[in-house]
A and B are shown apart, each in its own frame.
Chain A
């Protein structure tokens, strides 16, 4: 499409489709990019390729069976979904969870954060062509997934949460293995921080790309590491009733650049911090029971929030006193990060589009449920 004025061509615009199949995307999303001679001037999103309608299963499954539905909303960050669901029902029915169960949930939640960030770092290195770093990152991720298999029984979707606590316990062998794992990973993660942070090629491809300010992020509703990369200190792990975080030393990690390099360094430093949180939680693990025996019949409405690897997750539940719920509403972090993405894209070149789309950590199966 050409824009002409008095016989002179001012600019030529084309529309290029990005996705839904693209080597760099883990899940399908479609963007219509409007280009003016290699610079992007606008973008229009289109989602809906993996919509399963999971919120409509409240009539058919009862409260305990819905835990397994909620876990399968996402394949990467699944433990935090079932943890948030169980915490909402426990808040609504005034159930007191034992201390050991809170610590165990926190340990598995931080292991999930490590595995999710390592997956993202590998995909990000692949986005600008650094394939050997992609392979090394996923090789280290296999050790994390092996620890989850030893302690919980399966690799990623671990099914350990139940209303009132957890179903599995850690015995002495598993605690020794966890301590060995955290000690080994300290050195490995420091090497990764140098490989990602000090490499001149990565700095050239990520600094100054996709800049967004703190005021724009709050107005558009961004969450998670995308928000913390622009200088806003907000993390749901500071809330007093989430897991066992109030007993551990925890400070949110903030960077001030607002560009892709700052967001990458937030996630890299969060991986190192998660490793330290696991070590501290294993050392402070109290003795006691792991669950309470309850038959919940919730009535009324309740909201609770938790920090997933990608941002803030919110569950809204309404019950009517029977064994089926009335309404379940899930708000996932990528759903809130799509408007900031559409604001970051104008002004960049076309070869930077995969890097910017990956920097919000898109998890589209969470978005569409």
Chain B
């Protein structure tokens, strides 16, 4: 097998193994399905571009998630002026909504909506945690200290809980 074919195969394997997680990551940055697809594609192409330069300094998973987050940040900074500041999280209207059912889909959508409302620094930490990443991996992906990951995760969980409770 030529080096090029091997690279292609590696790229496909990476996307097959992490496609779902990357897709969820893209969805956490944008509500619009077509924007999500565009962002996912941007991420995939950025990984592909960076893959030949990967020398195994970190795990492949950390490597691709770091690229994905960088791409996503660039993407949203081009689309809107700034992310919601941490102290300006808008809580939804607490009044009951008669149209809301109890289906599983809506439950998932509720969690997704709540995550999407989190300020970006908390959203990043919680989404990576929900993808089964350790503190060390999250710290490597986001370029912050592990203690900082813990602080952000606690705050993210607290905010997420509040958002989900208010929405019930």
Are these two chains actual partners, yes or no?
Answer: no
